Amino acid sequence: MAIMTVQQALNDTLGEELARDPNVVLMGEEIGVFQGSYRVTEGLLSEFGPKRVVDMPIAEEGFVGLATGAAMLGLRPVVEIMTINFILVAIDQIVNHASKIHYMFGGQARVPLVVRTPSGGMGQLAATHSQSFENWFAYIPGLKVVAPSTPYDAKGLLRAAIRDDDPVIFIESLPLYSTKGEVPENDDYVLPIGLADVKREGTDVTVLAYSRMTVVALQVAQRLAEEGISVEVVDLRSLRPLDRPTIVESVKKTSRAVIIEEDWLSYGIGAELAATIQEQAFDYLDAPVLRVAGLEVPLPYSEHLSRASKPGAQELTDAIHRVLSGSRNGSYE
């Protein structure tokens, strides 16, 4: 195993796939000469040239539409959107075109497109730059949505996304870019899209999380182990398709569930998870499912208020203690 950051894992994978398949092309704002806002595309322009690593203007709808058409004609575009907040400009191309073309054309055309973008609160960037819209895309049939939390998962899932014949929204987390972890030295390993991962085995309560919240959940689980509380942490990894069997089997084992997500509470990924547990594991529950999420306000610019608006280790710890004590209060708002 090699040790690398999430950023390095993504960069390595892009380089390896560009070298492996001449149909893979990268598109996005400042990904070439500037080498990417988060340095994920560092060095790729000099290695593969401007026809494979293409700098685009500030026109997300235009270049996502271009990438969709290019994918229909045989290329495998990997588009970088600087943050998920800017994906709103291109949402028509993704939701009304890329996701539906294979179905509406009766299987005559496919769209092997990857859209990479970081999501969630990113420091003092205020309300319009700190949102989590991954649930919007997980709602859409025809799209696949993944959200890795480790370098291992980032590399394996990005490779799978690039090789997939369907459009994939690849959710990244800016705070996780610098986190380190083990990555197989096998240059061709792929993680199947649609499989959750039990990151930590436990017996007392299941915590369901994805992306940065998985890291928070693991930190809390380690701390609570010192109190004699055994927390099982399930990392969703894939938001669509959702690995419901792994989720349900974990809850059946522990009989309690807490869900933590960075986005807002209402109508989010957590609501879908809670419904799944209620439908498929209700008889196994010893306490109500609890959800931990961000406060339902536009994220403040103030650093203090920003931190207070986001879910974190203390909120998750409190929820775990409450579910173990049988509290009926079922959410944080």
Q: Active-site residue numbers?
A: 60, 129
Q: What is the C-alpha to C-alpha distance for residues 233 and 87, in angstroms, rounded to an integer?
A: 30
Q: Tokens for 306, please give them.
A: 């920003």
Q: Is the bond into 192 cis (omega within 30 degrees of 0)?
A: no
- 193 vs 156: CA distance, rounded Å: 9
The CA-atom distances, in angstroms, between 21 and each of 13, 24, 76, 244 are 12, 6, 9, 33
CA separation for the pair 257, 254 (Å, rounded): 8
Q: How far is the C-alpha of 14 from the C-alpha of 20, rounded, in Å?
A: 10
Eight-state DSSP code of residue 192: P
The H-assigned helical ranges of the chain are 6-20, 44-48, 60-72, 91-93, 101-104, 134-138, 151-163, 212-225, 244-254, 269-281, 303-309, 313-325
Q: How far apart are CA 125 and CA 97, in angstroms?
A: 31
122 Cβ contact partners less than 8 Å away, ≥ 6 residues apart: 83, 129, 130, 174, 175
Backbone CA torsion sign across 294, 307, 115, 22: negative
**From CA 72, how far away is CA 325, in angstroms rounded?**
54
User: 3-state class of 328 per DSSP?
Assistant: coil
Phi/psi at 278 (5° precision): -65, -40
Q: How many CA atoms lie within 13 A of 201 on its CB side?
A: 0
